Amino acid sequence: MSIYSKIQWRGDTTGSTIYATVQNTSGEYYQTTTGTFVSLVVANWANYDVPLTETPASSYWYLSDWPDVDYPAYYTINLFLQAGGAPAISDTLLTTRYGLAISAPPEELEIVQDISNVTRGESISIQIRVIGVDGSLVTESIDSVSAAIYSGKGYLSGTLSKQVINGIATFDDLSISDSGRHSLIFRLEND
C-alpha cells in the first residue's frame, strides 16, 4: 500500500503531457470540473483528468497536488500519457497505483533550523517537520523523509532516510563530501 499526498511520475516522458485519474472504492471517477466522484461517462473523459506539471529541476518529472478528496480513504490512481490535444480514454496508461490518501495531506516540509557555514565532511544535524494544509504537524501515516543534494558538487553521506516520529524527521549524521555552495532537498517517502 502507498500513501499519497501528491501525485507524481518519474519516467522517460520529458516534454509530454501526463495526467492522472482518481477512482474511489466504488469505481467512481474524480471529476475535476465539479470536485466530486461520479460514474464514468466515456464522452466526458476530459473532465476526469488531474493534470501533472513537468518539474525538470526535481527527480520527479511530473507532479500534481492531490485533488480535494475525502481523507483518509483508499483510491486507485491511473497515470496516462496524453496523445492528442485533450485527454482521451485511448491515451496510453503509464501505471496504476493503489493507496490511501492521508488525512490533512502534507502541504510542505519545513526545516526547523537553517544550516550555513558547514565545513566539508562536518556532521550536519537538521530536523524536518511535516506540515499539513491546516498548518499543523502531520503525525500519522508518514513513513520517512529522504535527503539528497539538490545542487552543488560532491555527494551526501550519512543516514539519508529518517523515520518521521510525531511529525518530525531528525537527521543527525549528514555530511557533504565537497566544499562550496550546496542546497539539499527533502522528500516524503510513503511506501
CB of 33 within 8 A of CB of 50?
Answer: no
Cell of 103: 488525512
Q: What is the pLDDT of residue 3?
A: 46
Indicate the DSSP class of residue 46.
Answer: G
Q: What is the pLDDT of residue 173?
A: 93
Weakly modelled stretches of the chain, pLDDT under 50: 1-3, 103-104
- Report DSSP letters for 10-41, one per residue: -SS-TTS-EEEEEE-TTSPEEETTTTEEE---
pTM over 0.75: no
Q: What is the pLDDT of residue 119?
A: 79
